[in-house]
Structure formats: C-alpha cells, structure tokens
Amino acid sequence: MSTQFHVSSWILLLAATLVFLFSASGLAQRKTISQAYQLTHTIHDSPAPSPDGKMLVYINVVGHREQLFIMNVDGTGAVQITHDDADHEDPAWSPDGKTIAFVYMKDNLEIISLMNSDGSNVQQLSPKNLKAIHPNWSPDGSKLAYCTDDDLAPPRKNDADIIVIDLATRRATTLITGGVNTYPAWSPDGKHIAFRRMLGEMNSEVFVANADGSDAHNLTNHPAFDGWPSWSPDGTKIAFASNRNSSYQIFIMNADGSEVRLLANTEGRATAPQWARDGKRIYFPICKNVDFGVDCEIFAARTEGFAR
C-alpha cells in the first residue's frame, strides 16, 4: 500500500506540474504585446443611379483624389471615368442617361460641371468665383438646381442659396435665399423642390417649396439634424438622413412629412440617400471612423422588407 501511495503521489505531482507549465505557456501566448490597428482605408461615397436603374455613379478615392466611377447596381464592373488631378463630388445622372453633373474641385474652386457618362467632354457651368455644390437635375433635364457652399469656414455654417440654371440659355436664377439652404431635390413632377434648411446652429430640417421657390415650409419639424432629402420615383415619399437616433440613419416619410419610418438599423454615419428607379431600394453611403482613418462604403436597403 505504501509503494502504491508513493507512486500515485508522484503521478499526481507530475500531472500538476505539467498542468502548471502548460497553463503558464498558455497565459504567455494569450498576453498581448501590442494592439493591432487598421492600416488601409477605402472611400466609396455618394452613389447615384442611372435612369435605367442598371448603373451607379459614385466617388472612389484614388491617390488622394476623389475620382468618379460607374458600376453595376450589384457592385460589379467598376470603371473609372475621371482621371485628372482634381476632386469630383456630388455626381448626378441626367434623366436621359447621357450626362453626369458633378462638382469639380481644385485650387480652391468648386464648380458645377457636366460631362458625358463616359467621362468625356467636360464643361463647367457655374462661375469660378462662386463655390457651388450639390447639383440636382430637373425631371425633364432642362435645368440644374444647386446651392452655394455652406462650409466656407467650418464648423460654423454660413448662408447658402439655392440656384437654378437653365441649361439651354445658361441663365442662373437664385430661387431660395436667406439663411442656410442646401441639398435641393426636384420632385418627379417638377412642381416642388425639397431642400435642407438650418434653423439655428444645431437644428437642420427638411423643407419643401414650390418650383419657383415660394411657399417654403418645414416637413420634419424635429430638434435633430435632418437633411439630404431625396424623392421617391412616384413622388409620394421622401427619404432623408437624420441623427434623431444618435447616429445618422436613413428615414422615409410621406411627401407631406407624415409617417416617418426608419429604413434600416445601421451603424456609422449614413447620409445622402438615393432611390432606385423602381423605388424598391435606396442607396446610401455609410462612413465610420476606424482607428486612424475613415472608411466609407455604399449600402443598399429594400424599401419594403428584406430581399437581396
């Protein structure tokens, strides 16, 4: 019995020693030396669908420049269409699909410009001494609405006007003025323009006015920051972005401002919604601060239930 006891004790001691050694080794392997951080970042931003609903034009940062690309709506077949040493923002496809409006940005210039949908034949529309952004086509393609830049001295907002230019005559008319008015969006019937208006320093609302700028009135009436309006193809609804749930998300409301609904639960800064031409999806970018950089990617959400 004594010999068996000593053998059993020795075995138990050996087992305990092995457990200790393996545990110490495991702890050493689980204890970190440092912390990993994301080194590469991508920017895919500002998607806008083609009139036939088959393509998106969007921003992709290449070599520290915002270049414009087109791709299929399923994310395949990306093709770069701008290649110059400038930034290009706010792309918008013309109703006939032949032209893309955008903001040309270089050397402190912000100019509303046009080009063919393949990137050729670039024309500048707005005067060089005016910083102009956010072009939006009238439904018949004869006019462009845009606004002056409200971020000349960020973070403070400065006054910004909404202007309409007739593409045949190149005559520009100031439509909405007084305060900060940005992101104009024509209704599908051409009778109204939705836009964002600042009310005070921290409150932004979605307004709608007649196409001549008259009868501007507040649709959202919420203390949060609401903006980036976009009409549904049938004109019955308006999508917009809001931080009413803390982070920016995409919401849908009726064209009169009633029945506000959250489109999808998302994380990050979701803004600038754009409806698919059949009204079944909404495209929008989501940007996130990741470690020492920012990532922006393009998302799509069904307007009625989930289906790929």
In a shared domain, residues 103 and 144: no
pLDDT for residue 74 is more than 80: yes
For every residue of 34-61, DSSP letters joined together read: S--------BEEEEEE-TTSSEEEEEEE
Q: Are residues 163 and 117 in the same domain?
A: no
Would you call the peptide bond into 155 cis, given omega within 30 degrees of 0 as the criterion?
A: yes
151/176 same-domain check: yes
Supply the DSSP symbol for 180: B
What's the total number of domains in the chain?
Answer: 3
pLDDT of residue 306: 45
What pLDDT, on a 0 to 100 scale, did the predictor assign at position 28?
64
Domain that holds residue 241: 234-308
Q: How confident is the model at residue 307 (pLDDT cuts 50, 70, 90)?
A: very low
Residues 200 and 244 in one domain: no
One-character DSSP codes across 92-148: EE-TTSSEEEEEEEETTEEEEEEEETTS-S-EE-S-TTS-EEEEEE-TTSSEEEEEE
Q: Which of these three, 162, 192, 218, is where a domain ends?
A: 218
What is the per-residue pLDDT across 240-287, written as a single tens digit (0 to 9) for each? Answer: 999 999 899 999 999 999 999 999 999 999 999 999 999 999 999 999
pLDDT value for 308: 43
Report the 10 Å Cβ neighbour count for 1. Answer: 5
Which two tokens mark 62?
A: 């290449």
pTM of this prediction?
0.88
Q: Do 204 and 221 meet the contact criterion of CB atoms below 8 Å apart? A: no
Supply the pLDDT for residue 24: 57
- Strands of the sheet with 143-148, listed across from one edge: 132-137, 143-148, 162-166, 172-176
Is it the case that residue 1 has pLDDT exceeding 90? no
Looking at residue 6, what DSSP letter applies? H
Q: Are residues 125 and 145 in the same domain?
A: no
Determine, yes or no, domain membership for 212. yes
Per-residue confidence band for 17, with pLDDT thresholds at 50, 70 and 90: low
**C-alpha atoms less than 13 angstroms from C-alpha of 66 in its C-beta half-sphere:** 18
Q: Given this model, what pLDDT does residue 16 score?
A: 59
- Indicate whether 11 belongs to any domain: no
Residue 190's Cβ-count burial label (10 Å; 0-12, 13-18, 19+) is: middle
Q: How much is the pLDDT for 15?
A: 58
Q: Are residues 51 and 126 in the same domain?
A: yes
Lowest mean pLDDT across 121-125, 178-182, 287-291 = 287-291
Rounded Cα distance between 112 and 133, Å, is: 7
pLDDT at 9: 64
Q: What is the pLDDT of residues 152-162, one digit of tens each?
A: 988 889 999 99
Share above pLDDT 70 across residues of the chain, in percent, rounded to a whole number: 89
Kindly state the average pLDDT of the residues 200-215: 95
Same domain (yes/no): 155, 172 = yes
